[in-house]
């Protein structure tokens, strides 16, 4: 079936943001909403491949400041509580009683935060490559991963003094949130190249980094949003997220995590599974972080079909 939306809207939030929302599949079918990663990455039409659009209704939207939502990269009135309220606003506006919630990485974080307030509206849940918004994970990504991608980390921190190298996120965040346009572009370029090197390493391609291309305006907006959220502990905490998971004892859930995920450590899935004994934990051998990984994509398709109601 052609991935053409049967409905597309720009929904105002009432406090300065407008959300891009698109619906695919069948309007009268059981609904699912996909929460994209980032923060700030925006939704990708490729996620529709996880669904059977002949039997499902799929809602995609760009979170505040991301993708086609406006204003792009704006951090004003942009925090986790606002995003949770946006998800519920979209559900109400689209007159959906209950839906499957599918979230990956930061989207899994957001799914748990949404569940903490609106569990009765969730029919089922798929969590992929879960991020638990902990300092442990930030230290791993920005500091400890230098052991896995040493050349990329050296490129990331090139020209910095020792104190800056010891606080990579703080250094990047300062440039993106309070620096000049040139400093913000430089930080986004460095961050993007480092992220790409990690993705390559997960696919088994550990190559020497080349000179990165300058970040686009959209990439600068994306990393500005990420810096805003990560430097504020995502306006939540690991304890809150684990508490939300523990409260979902009656919600059918599949947890998908790649054994080779270098972005969100596999121990995150183990922590969630311990608190959600009813959930099915689907380890993906040799799987990475991105849903573009064919192994992860296959696991997501399986999970979505497993949780789709029988005809």
Burial of 52 (0-12, 13-18, 19+ CB in 10 A): middle
Query: Is 213 an annotated catalytic residue?
Result: no
Dist CA 221 CA 202 (whole Å): 25
- Which of 17, 289, 293, 308 is catalytic? The answer is 289
Question: 3-state DSSP call for residue 24?
Answer: strand
Question: Which residue from 198, 205, 197, 208 is spatially nearest to 265, judged by alpha carbons?
Answer: 198
Q: For residues 123 and 96, is the Cβ–Cβ distance under 8 A?
A: no
- Copy the structure tokens of residue 235: 């306006």
Element holding 12 (H helix, E strand): strand 7-12
The CA–CA distances, whole Å, from 253 to 181, 249, 264 equal: 43, 9, 19
**Do the beta carbons of residue 50 and residue 200 sit within 8 Å?**
no
Active-site residue identified among 105, 186, 228, 257: 105
The yes-or-no answer on residue 180 being catalytic is no
Say if CB 56 and CB 29 are below 8 A apart.
yes
Instruction: Output the CA angle 10-16-20, nearest 5 degrees.
Output: 20
Tokens of 23: 């619906």
- Among the listed residues 86, 240, 261, 293, the single catalytic one is 261
52 assigned to active site: no
Give the residue numbers annotated as catalytic, written as ranges: 105, 261, 289
């Amino acid at each position: 079936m052609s991935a053409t939306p049967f409905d597309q809207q720009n929904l105002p939030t009432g406090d300065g943001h407008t959300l891009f929302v698109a619906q695919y599949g069948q309007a009268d079918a059981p609904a699912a909403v996909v929460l994209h990663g980032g923060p700030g990455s925006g939704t990708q039409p490729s996620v529709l491949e996880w669904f059977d659009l002949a039997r499902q209704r799929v809602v995609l939207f760009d979170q505040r400041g991301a993708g086609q939502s406006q204003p792009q990269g704006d951090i004003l009135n942009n925090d986790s509580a606002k995003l949770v309220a946006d998800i519920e606003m979209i559900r109400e506006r689209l007159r959906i009683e209950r839906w499957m919630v599918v979230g990956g990485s930061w989207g899994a974080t957001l799914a748990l935060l949404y569940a903490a307030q609106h569990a009765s509206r969730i029919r089922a849940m798929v969590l992929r490559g879960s991020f638990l918004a902990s300092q442990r994970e930030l230290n791993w990504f920005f500091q400890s991963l230098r052991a896995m991608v040493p050349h990329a980390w050296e490129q990331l921190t090139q020209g910095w003094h020792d104190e800056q190298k010891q606080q990579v996120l703080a250094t990047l965040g300062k440039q993106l949130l309070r620096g000049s346009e040139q400093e913000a572009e430089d930080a986004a370029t460095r961050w993007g190249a480092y992220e790409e090197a990690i993705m390559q390493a997960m696919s088994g391609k550990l190559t020497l980094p080349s000179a990165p291309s300058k970040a686009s305006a959209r990439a600068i907006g994306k990393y500005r949003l990420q810096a805003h959220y990560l430097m504020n502990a995502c306006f939540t905490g690991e304890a809150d997220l684990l508490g939300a998971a523990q409260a979902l004892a009656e919600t059918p859930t599949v947890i998908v995590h790649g054994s080779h995920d270098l972005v969100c450590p596999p121990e995150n899935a183990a922590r969630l599974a311990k608190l959600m004994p009813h959930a099915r934990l689907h380890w993906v051998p040799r799987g990475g972080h991105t849903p573009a990984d064919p192994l992860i994509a296959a696991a997501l398709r399986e999970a979505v079909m497993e949780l789709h109601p029988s005809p």
